[in-house]
Every structure is written in structure tokens, then in C-alpha cells.
Amino acid sequence: MKIFLSVCMVLVCAGSFSQKQVRSELRKGNREYGKEKYTEAEIAYRKALEGNERSSEAAYNLGNSLYRQQKFDQAAKQYELSVTGVDDRGKQAVAMHNYGNSFLAKAIAQDGQTGDQAQSSQKMQDLKTSIEAYKQSLRNNPNSDETRYNLALAQKLLEEAQQDGGGGQDKDKDKQDKNQDKQDKQDKQDKQNKQDNQQQQQQQSEQNRMPKEKAEQILEAMKQNERETQEKVKEHQIQQTKQTLTDKNW
């Protein structure tokens, strides 16, 4: 009997020590979270969960620290765990609101990224999950304007994603056709420019090229002018010779 009581006392002490450690790690995690040291906060909250895996507070706070690090899938898991066995409708509303935020943020993070059909489908699924989470949150707290706003945003993004996803292949084909038309026009323009350049060069060549008959006429005229000049020079020399013989002294 004494041995049994001793064992019970040890278990009670161990349990008390564990709960004390859980509270200590929770406080530490909250301090680090307040300093925006989310990685350190995550470590503390995980230690708290090791001491008490049923701690909804540790799970919820861990979800917040993971969300701040953009680890949206892990955060959503912790938010979901935080409402397990919790009857408080206010806590359920807040946890499901953040659960919806995790999937909404994940979907928004994919905007502007070039992805395939599978990625587009995943984005739509994330938006649908966030919508259901917001609806569940509103069932527990119908007065949350923030939740209603996020719900409307998620629904709008889902509608846009469905429109883009439905016509994705057609848009790709249209884009390819437009690119091909643009290339064809460019090729046609390049060909026309080449033809114009060739025609211009040919015209310039023809303008610069002297007809054969004209060239022969000019050449003959030059020869004739040269003959006339030589004759004039010769006649002038004769006159000079005559003048010299007449004026010579004896």
C-alpha cells in the first residue's frame, strides 16, 4: 500500500512539473511572439505541446507563429487542432477565421506565378477551403465584420480563378496565335523592306551607270578637242618660227 501511494505521489509530482513547464514555455513563446521573433516563439510553443499535446492554447499560438513565417499549411493544421474538444464558440470562431486565412494567404501567394493546370486547381481548392472556414467561423460569431470581408474576398478570387482556369488553354492558344500573327507581319515587313532596298540600290546603280553610246560620244568629243588643240599648238609654233627667222640679226 505504501509503495502504491509512493508511485501515485511521483506521478502527481511529474504531472505538476509538466504543467508548470507547459505554462513556462507558453509565456516564453508569447514574449518572443510579441518581439516578432516568430521562430523562437514556434520553438517554445512546440515544447509546450510536448508537455501537453492537448493544449489548445499552445496549438493556436503555434499556428499564429507559423502563419507569420508564411508556413500556411502547418499553421492551418495547428488551428484545426486547437478547436478539437473546445466548446467555447468564441475560440472556435477565431481559430476557424485564422484557419481560413491560412488557405486564403496561400492562394494569394500564387498570384502572378506561372503555373500549370494542377497548380490552378490547387489554388481554387485552397480558396474553397477558406470560404468554408469563414462560413463556419461566422456560424460561431455572426458579428465579425473582418470574417465577412475575408469571405467576400475569397469568393471573388475563386470566381476569377474559375474564369481563368476555364479558359486557360484557349488563352494560351490565342496568345500563340497572336504571337504567330505578329511574327508573320514582321517577316512580311522585313521582306518588303529588303525588296525596297534592292529596288533602290538598282535605281541608284542605273542612275550612276553611263549609257554606252553617251560614253562613246563623250570620248570622241574629247579626242576631237585634243586634235584641235594639237593643231592650234602646231600652228602657233609655226608662226613663232616664222617670226623668229624674220627678226634675226646678221
- Number of separate helices (H) and strands (E) present in the chain: 9, 0
Give the dihedral of Cα atoms 79, 85, 90, 94; nearest 10 deg.
0
Single out the residue in 165, 193, 210 at which a domain terminates: 165
pLDDT score, position 218: 64
The CA distances from residue 45 to 49, 94, 221, 222, in Å, are 6, 18, 111, 110
pLDDT exceeds cutoff 90 at 118: no
Q: Are residues 91 and 26 in the same domain?
A: no
Q: What is the pTM of this model?
A: 0.61
Query: Domain holding 37: CATH number?
Result: 1.25.40
82 and 95 Cβ atoms separated by less than 8 Å: yes
The residues near 55 (Cβ < 8 Å, ≥ 6 apart) are 22, 26, 48, 49
Residue 58 lies in a domain: yes
Residue 221 lies in a domain: no
Q: Are residues 95 and 159 in the same domain?
A: yes
Min mean pLDDT across 28-32, 159-163, 167-171, 245-249 is at 245-249
Name the domain count of the chain. 2
Residue 78 lies in a domain: no
Residue 81 lies in a domain: no
Q: Which residue has the cell 599648238?
A: 233
Q: What is the spatial distance between Cα 21 and Cα 165, in angstroms, rounded to a whole number? A: 50
Single out the residue in 165, 197, 216 at which a domain terminates: 165
168 and 117 Cβ atoms separated by less than 8 Å: yes
Residue 5 lies in a domain: no
Domain span at residue 129 reads: 87-165
Give residue 242's pLDDT band: very low, low, confident or very high (50, 70, 90): very low
Min mean pLDDT across 14-18, 42-46, 172-176, 197-201 is at 14-18
Residue 25 lies in a domain: yes
Query: Domain holding 105: CATH number?
Result: 1.20.58
pLDDT exceeds cutoff 90 at 179: no
CB-CB neighbours of 74 under 10 Å: 16
Single out the residue in 165, 185, 218 at which a domain terminates: 165
